[in-house]
């Protein structure tokens, strides 16, 4: 019974933490932080995902191979986000040249009837 109560308290604390992080994310969306909004959003999302991984997916008591697999998946996702961010940050933003629409010249052939 004591173990069930402790587990329930951990889940309730995780639920409260996830709600607080959700409200923090909502609040930061309305603050004019510039690039800080992106950093805050990513930090909040990372924290929420770590709470879910640690408590709800029960990685704290998982075998080492499962922990390693989860860590590698998380690292691969972080690498993909980093590479995408570097790609976006280093691209030149040149708008494409606009071509004026042109009428096709008549071919001179009449219908094949």
Q: What is the mean pLDDT of residues 29-40?
A: 89
Distance between CA atoms of 47 and 100, rounded to whole angstroms? 50
47-103 residue pLDDT tens: 998 898 888 888 888 899 998 998 899 899 889 999 999 998 998 888 778 878 888
- What are the two backbone dihedrals, phi and then psi, of residue 97, each rounded to the nearest 5 degrees? -70, 140
**Residue length of the chain:** 113
Cα first-last separation, the chain: 92
Report yes or no on whether pTM surpasses 0.75: no
């Amino acid at each position: 019974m004591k173990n069930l109560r402790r587990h329930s308290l951990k889940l309730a604390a995780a639920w409260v933490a996830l709600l607080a992080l959700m409200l923090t994310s909502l609040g930061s969306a309305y603050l004019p932080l510039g690039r800080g909004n992106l950093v805050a959003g990513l930090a909040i999302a990372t924290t929420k995902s770590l709470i879910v991984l640690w408590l709800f997916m029960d990685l704290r008591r998982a075998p080492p191979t499962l922990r390693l697999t989860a860590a590698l998946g998380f690292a691969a996702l972080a690498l993909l986000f980093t590479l995408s961010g570097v790609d976006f940050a280093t691209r030149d933003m040149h708008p494409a040249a606009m071509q004026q629409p042109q009428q096709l010249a008549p071919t001179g052939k009449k219908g094949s009837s």
